[in-house]
């Protein structure tokens, strides 16, 4: 039986989900196969650090201040033919640097948690410059052509919704595993809600709202929403996580002194699982990582102004599954919170029940096990038919 001696994971720091998926698989593999060497490479930074900095800056600013521009780009690249000139250009980004990396590291399997390097590895395989098995983790509940590439050995997806979307685009059923999106094991672990409430100084008899602005704290109007929550007419408790946005945290901290409610404010924290564990609903963006963590914690979601593109598709999936409510304006946020926390708590409990029907536990462990099997298998070219 072949052994998975080395796994190369290609990721990128655009949002938190791509890298966290890589870390979760690495940690799961270290438990199942301690002898396996796992190398995680930030693909865009490897191509060029300046390119990485500029591209990340443009991405964050576009989704924050020009979401329609990002929507135009996202939709414009969502249905590219593999043979199109634009797709060939995208598949050539950093191709020489990646080929050198593959030659020098000689991995048994390559796992991509970001779409661009998956396309580059696929292109190298088409050119017969590598035959390494390629697996891809799709980190959203969204269907987009940049995730789908010929000669991909295995796709790991978060839901049957994504599986069906891949099949409609020509991917063989046998090449898709519905594992869930990998997250840290802390979100799958049992917890004592009462003990956590005591730890964080929360009243067990009052509902708790968790507000999360994403890893970079860029959820629009978060300060105005918090100001309204801090002065909510009914007794509630509010936890705010601003991520790495220190400026936003300072703004929210400045509102706490005049708050009528119990308020806890945190920046970037590794204890999100505990904060979710004491909460009754999370008000958040619709990023793939946060929604996967919320599903694992059986936490109903109120999704505010999802970013056009993958977040809109994530929100559509969650709303249709009955685990989330969508709000596009601040008055809609207020109305939804009043409904779910005060007037109709049974609706909130039904949403919590629905999370149990679609959540996928131990995604990272399942992916790790399949990656080890890939190292033992004789690679067969993935069956793929291009849309006509």
Per-residue confidence (pLDDT) for residue 172, from 0 to 100: 96
The reply to whether the predicted model has a pTM over 0.85 is yes
% of the chain exceeding 70 in pLDDT: 94
Place of tokens 């996928």: 360
Question: Is there a shared CATH topology between the 6-185+362-376 domain and the 189-358 domain?
Answer: yes
Task: Tell me the per-residue pLDDT of 135-177, one tens digit each, with 9 for 90 and over.
Answer: 999 999 999 999 999 999 999 999 999 999 999 999 999 999 9
Per-residue confidence (pLDDT) for residue 82, from 0 to 100: 81
CATH domain 189-358 topology? Rossmann fold (3.40.50)
Pick one of 3.40.50.12780, 3.40.50.2000, 3.30.70.20, 1.10.1040.10 as the CATH number of 6-185+362-376.
3.40.50.2000
Task: Tell me the per-residue pLDDT of 14-57, one tens digit each, with 9 for 90 and over.
Answer: 878 899 999 999 999 999 999 999 999 999 999 988 887 888 78
Q: Where are the domains of the chain?
A: 6-185+362-376, 189-358
Confidence of residue 217 (pLDDT cuts 50, 70, 90): low
Count Cβ atoms within 10 A of the Cβ of residue 204 and give its class: 0-12 exposed, 13-18 middle, 19 or more buried: exposed
Per-residue confidence (pLDDT) for residue 388, from 0 to 100: 34
Helices and strands: H and E segment counts in the chain: 17, 12
Cα–Cα distance, 230 to 253 (Å, whole number):
11
256 by DSSP, 3-state: which? helix
- Whether residue 87 contacts residue 115, with contact meaning beta carbons closer than 8 Å, is answered with no
């Amino acid at each position: 039986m072949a052994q998975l001696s080395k796994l190369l994971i290609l990721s990128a720091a655009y949002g938190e989900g791509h890298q966290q998926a890589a870390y979760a698989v690495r940690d799961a593999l270290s438990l199942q196969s301690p002898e396996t060497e796992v190398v995680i490479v930030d693909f865009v930074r490897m191509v060029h650090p300046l390119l990485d900095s500029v591209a990340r800056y443009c991405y964050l600013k576009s989704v924050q201040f020009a979401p329609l521009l990002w929507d135009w780009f996202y939709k414009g690249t969502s249905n590219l033919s593999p043979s199109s000139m634009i797709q060939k250009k995208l598949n050539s980004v950093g191709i020489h640097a990646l080929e050198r990396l593959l030659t020098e590291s000689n991995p048994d399997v390559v796992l991509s948690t970001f779409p661009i390097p998956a396309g580059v590895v696929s292109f190298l395989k088409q050119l017969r410059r590598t035959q390494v098995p390629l697996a891809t983790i799709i980190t959203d509940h969204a269907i987009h052509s940049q995730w789908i590439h010929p000669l991909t050995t295995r796709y790991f997806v978060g839901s049957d919704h994504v599986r069906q979307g891949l099949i409609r685009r020509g991917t063989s059923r046998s090449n898709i595993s519905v594992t869930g999106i990998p997250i840290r094991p802390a979100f799958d672990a049992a917890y004592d809600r009462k003990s956590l409430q005591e730890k964080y100084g929360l009243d067990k008899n009052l509902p708790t709202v968790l507000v999360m602005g994403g890893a970079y704290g860029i959820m629009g109007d978060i300060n105005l929403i918090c100001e309204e929550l801090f002065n909510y007419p009914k007794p509630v408790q509010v936890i705010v996580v601003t991520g790495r946005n220190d400026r936003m945290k300072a703004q929210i901290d400045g509102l706490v002194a005049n708050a009528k409610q119990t308020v806890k404010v945190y920046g970037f924290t590794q204890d999100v699982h505990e904060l979710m564990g004491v909460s009754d609903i999370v008000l958040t963006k619709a990023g793939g990582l946060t929604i996967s963590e919320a599903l694992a914690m059986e936490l109903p979601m109120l999704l505010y102004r999802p970013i056009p593109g993958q977040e809109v598709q994530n929100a559509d999936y969650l709303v249709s599954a009955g685990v989330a409510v969508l709000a596009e304006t601040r008055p809609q946020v207020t109305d939804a919170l009043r409904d779910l926390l005060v007037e109709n708590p049974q609706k909130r409990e039904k949403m919590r029940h629905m999370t149990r029907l679609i959540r996928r536990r131990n995604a990272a462990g399942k992916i790790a096990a399949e990656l080890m099997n890939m190292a033992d298998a004789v690679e067969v070219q993935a069956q793929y038919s291009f849309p006509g």
